[in-house]
C-alpha cells in the first residue's frame, strides 16, 4: 500500500518523525514499507483497503517507550492509532480511522504480570492473546477460566477495551476490567482506581478508587493508551450443565429472550446466553457456493433443507450452568419449568465435570478458539464481515419487530439473514453479521447500504449500537443525538483538554479533536 501522509504533514516532516520513533524503538520496529502498510490495513475492508490507510506502524516494547512515542507525536504532530494486537476483525482490524495515522502496535508488550488464583484476577499487557493467557494457565495449572470471544488470537485487553463479549458468567468483558495503567496524550502516566496509591494492594480487586472512577473513560476511547489492565477471572467450576434446544420458528425469539432475561434477573442463569439463528452454524461449515450456484443469496427452501437435515430449528439455544452439581441441578429444573410454559420441546442435557475435555467449538467452556472466523469464507473470494450491533431491552416488544425488520432488510439487499441475540438480564444485544466477498464490488456496495439502513431503522426505533466499524463510527455517533449531540460535545471538550494537538486516535468512536474535526464524516 502506497504511503498516505497524515493531513498537513509533508514527506520530509513525516520522515523526521519516523527517524525520531526509530531512536526510541530501534530501526526494526518502525514499520513503514508498502508491505507493512498492507499488514496494518483492514483485512475485511468493505471497499478499497486504503480508505482507512495507515502511514506506518511503530511497535514499542514498554510503557516508557509508549510515553516517548506519544511525546514525539505531539512534537511532530503525528496522529497515532493504538491497537493491542490489531485483531479487531469486522470493526477495522488494525487500521486507523484517520488515513495517514501511525498505528501504535502494542503486540510486543505481552507480559502476564500477575495471576492471583485465590482472588481471581490477572494483570496483563495489551499484547497478551487469549491463546497466550490460556497457555499460561495450563502451564501453571491455575484453576481460573478466562472468558473468550470468537477470536482467540485477539488481545484480552483490546477485546475488553472495545467491549467485546464472551459466553461465560464473565462474558461482559469490559465489566471484568479492574484497574488500569494508562499513558495520557501528553505522555503522563496514571494508574486508575486504587492503583493511584503507590504500592497499592487493592488495585485489581476494587473497581472505583476514590473520587470519579476512570476505567470506563479509557474504553472505546481516544483519551489514553492503556498499557496494563487487571482483569477479573472466574474460578474454574466443579461442574457444568448445558441445556440445549433448537426452537423452530423465527417468532420464538420473543419468548426466548423474555424467559432467559427473567431467569437471569432471578439469578437462575449466570451467563448471558448467545442465541444465533441456525444460519450461524451453516456459515461455519459451508460456503454459499456449496448450496447455491445462482446469483444472490441461498433461497429459503435450500436453507430449510439444510436445517432439516442437521436437525436445526430457527434458533440455536444453549444455556450453560456452572458450579456445584447440587445447585446446577436445582437451577436446571427451574429453567425447564420456565421453558415448559412456552414449548413442549425437551432440552438436550449435556453434563460436564472438572477434568473432562473442553471442546473448542463450545466457547461457553472458555477455551480460546478461532473457529467462528470461518464464517468470513461464506461468500467466497477474499471474505469479510461487518457486525451491526444494536442493544435492545430484553422484551419481546423490542426484539420481535427488530428481528422481522432486519430480516426483511437482509432479503431486500440480497443477503442471508444472520442475526443473533445475546441475552443479559436487561438487554438483548442483537449482533447482525453481514458476510461479503471483498472482490465482488456489487456485494460490498450492498453490504454497506444494508449497514446504513439497519443503523437508520434501529435509530428510529430508539436503539443504538455498542460498537462500530471505522466506516460507521461517525454515522453511529450521529445517532446519539440528545440535546444536539451534547454527550459528543462533552467528549470533545475533554478530548481537547487532554489532547490539545489531537494526536491520539482522532475520530475513534466519533470523537474528534479540534485539530482534525473537519475530518468528521470524511
Give the residue, chosen from 125, 132, 270, 416, that forms a contact with a copy of itself under the rule CB under 8 A: 270
Q: Does 509 bind a copy of itself (CB under 8 A)?
A: yes
Cell output for 34: 508498502
Cβ proximity to a copy of itself: between 110 and 176 the closer is: 176
Span 96-115, contacts to a copy of itself by CB under 8 A:
none
Smallest gap, in angstroms, from Cβ of residue 22 to a copy of itself?
27
Q: Does 490 bind a copy of itself (CB under 8 A)?
A: yes
Cβ proximity to a copy of itself: between 433 and 511 the closer is: 511
SS (H, E, C) 439-501: CCHHHHHHHHHHHHHHHHHHHHHCCCECCCCHHHHHHHHHCCCHHHHHHHHHHHHHHHHHCCC
Window 207-236: contact mask with a copy of itself (x via CB under 8 A): -xxxxxxxxxxxxxx-x--------x-xx-
- Please provide the DSSP assignment of 377-425 as one string: GTT-SSEEEEEE-BEEESSHHHHHHHHHHHHHHHHHTT----EEEEE-S
SS (H, E, C) 258-308: HHHHHHHHCCCCCCCCEEEECHHHHHHHCCHHHHCCCCCCCCHHHHHHHHH
Cβ proximity to a copy of itself: between 118 and 141 the closer is: 118
Span 352-391, contacts to a copy of itself by CB under 8 A:
391
Q: Does 470 bind a copy of itself (CB under 8 A)?
A: no
Cβ proximity to a copy of itself: between 244 and 334 the closer is: 334
Window 44-83: contact mask with a copy of itself (x via CB under 8 A): ----------------------------------------
**11-25 helix and 63-76 helix, angle to the nearest 10 degrees:** 160
Smallest gap, in angstroms, from Cβ of residue 157 to a copy of itself?
16
Q: Does 143 bind a copy of itself (CB under 8 A)?
A: no
Can you list the alpha helix ranges (DSSP code H) found in 77-216? 130-139, 156-161
Q: Does 341 bind a copy of itself (CB under 8 A)?
A: no
Query: What is the Cα–Cα distance from 161 to 124, expressed in whole angstroms?
Result: 13
Cα separations (Å) of 100 from 25, 124, 521?
20, 30, 16
Q: Does 452 bind a copy of itself (CB under 8 A)?
A: no
Q: Give the pairing type, strands 225-232 and 121-124.
A: antiparallel
Give the residue, chosen from 3, 190, 360, 453, that forms a contact with a copy of itself under the rule CB under 8 A: 190
Active site residues: 91, 466-467
Residue with cell 453490504: 447
**Range in contact with a copy of itself (rule: CB under 8 A) among 85-93, 306-314, 328-336, 447-455:** 328-336
Q: Does 425 bind a copy of itself (CB under 8 A)?
A: yes
Cβ proximity to a copy of itself: between 452 and 496 the closer is: 496
Q: How many CB atoms lie within 10 A of CB 359?
A: 11
Window 118-137: contact mask with a copy of itself (x via CB under 8 A): xxxx----------------
Q: Does 466 bind a copy of itself (CB under 8 A)?
A: yes
Q: Considering only CA atoms, give the Rg of the chain.
A: 23
Amino acid at each position: 500500500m502506497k504511503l498516505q501522509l497524515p493531513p498537513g504533514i509533508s514527506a520530509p516532516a513525516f520522515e523526521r518523525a519516523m527517524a525520531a520513533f526509530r531512536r526510541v524503538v530501534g530501526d526494526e520496529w518502525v514499520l513503514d514499507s508498502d508491505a507493512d502498510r498492507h499488514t496494518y490495513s483492514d483485512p475485511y475492508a468493505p471497499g478499497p483497503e486504503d480508505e482507512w490507510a495507515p502511514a506506518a506502524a511503530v511497535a514499542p516494547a514498554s510503557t516508557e517507550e509508549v510515553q516517548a512515542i506519544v511525546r514525539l507525536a505531539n512534537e511532530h504532530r503525528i496522529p497515532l492509532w493504538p491497537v493491542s494486537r490489531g485483531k479487531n476483525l469486522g470493526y477495522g482490524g488494525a487500521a486507523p480511522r484517520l488515513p495517514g495515522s501511525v498505528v501504535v502496535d502494542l503486540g510486543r508488550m505481552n507480559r502476564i504480570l500477575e495471576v492471583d488464583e485465590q482472588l481471581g484476577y490477572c494483570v496483563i499487557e495489551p499484547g497478551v492473546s487469549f491463546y497466550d493467557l490460556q497457555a499460561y494457565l495450563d502451564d501453571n495449572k491455575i484453576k481460573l477460566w478466562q472468558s473468550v470471544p470468537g477470536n482467540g488470537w485477539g488481545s484480552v485487553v483490546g477485546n475488553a477495551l472495545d467491549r467485546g463479549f464472551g459466553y461465560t458468567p464473565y462474558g461482559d468483558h469490559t465489566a471484568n476490567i479492574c484497574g488500569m495503567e494508562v499513558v495520557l496524550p501528553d505522555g503522563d502516566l496514571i494508574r486508575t482506581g486504587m492503583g493511584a496509591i503507590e504500592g497499592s494492594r487493592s488495585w485489581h480487586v476494587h473497581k472505583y478508587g476514590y473520587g470519579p472512577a476512570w476505567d470506563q473513560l479509557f474504553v472505546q476511547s481516544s483519551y489514553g493508551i492503556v498499557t496494563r489492565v487487571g482483569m477479573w477471572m472466574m474460578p474454574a467450576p466443579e461442574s457444568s450443565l448445558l441445556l440445549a434446544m433448537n426452537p423452530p420458528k423465527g417468532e420464538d425469539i420473543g419468548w426466548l429472550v423474555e424467559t432467559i432475561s427473567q431467569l437471569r434477573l432471578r439469578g437462575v442463569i449466570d451467563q448471558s446466553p448467545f442465541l444465533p439463528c441456525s444460519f450461524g452454524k451453516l456459515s461455519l461449515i459451508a460456503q454459499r457456493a456449496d448450496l447455491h450456484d445462482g446469483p444472490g443469496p441461498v433461497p429459503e427452501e435450500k436453507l430449510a433443507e439444510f436445517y432439516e437435515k442437521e436437525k436445526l430449528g430457527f434458533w440455536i439455544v444453549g444455556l450453560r450452568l456452572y458450579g456445584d452439581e447440587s445447585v446446577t441441578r436445582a437451577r436446571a429444573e427451574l429453567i425447564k419449568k420456565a421453558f415448559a410454559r412456552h414449548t413442549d420441546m425437551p432440552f438436550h442435557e449435556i453434563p460436564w465435570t472438572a477434568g473432562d475435555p473442553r471442546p473448542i467449538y463450545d466457547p461457553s467452556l472458555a477455551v480460546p478458539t478461532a473457529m467462528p472466523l470461518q464464517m468470513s469464507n461464506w461468500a467466497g473470494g477474499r471474505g469479510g464481515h461487518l457486525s451491526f450491533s444494536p442493544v435492545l431491552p430484553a422484551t419481546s416488544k423490542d426484539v420481535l419487530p427488530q428481528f422481522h425488520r432486519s430480516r426483511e432488510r437482509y432479503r431486500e439487499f440480497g443477503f442471508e439473514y444472520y442475526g443473533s441475540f445475546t441475552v443479559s438480564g436487561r438487554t438483548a444485544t442483537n449482533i447482525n453479521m453481514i458476510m461479503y466477498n471483498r472482490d465482488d464490488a456489487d456485494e460490498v456496495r450492498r453490504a454497506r447500504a444494508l449497514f446504513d439502513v439497519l443503523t437508520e431503522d434501529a435509530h428510529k426505533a430508539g436503539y443504538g449500537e455498542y460498537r462500530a466499524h471505522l466506516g460507521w463510527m461517525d454515522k453511529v455517533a450521529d445517532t446519539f443525538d440528545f440535546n444536539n449531540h451534547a454527550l459528543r460535545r462533552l467528549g470533545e471538550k475533554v478530548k481537547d483538554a487532554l489532547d490539545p494537538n489531537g494526536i491520539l486516535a482522532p475520530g475513534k468512536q466519533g470523537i474528534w479533536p479540534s485539530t482534525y474535526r473537519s475530518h468528521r464524516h470524511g
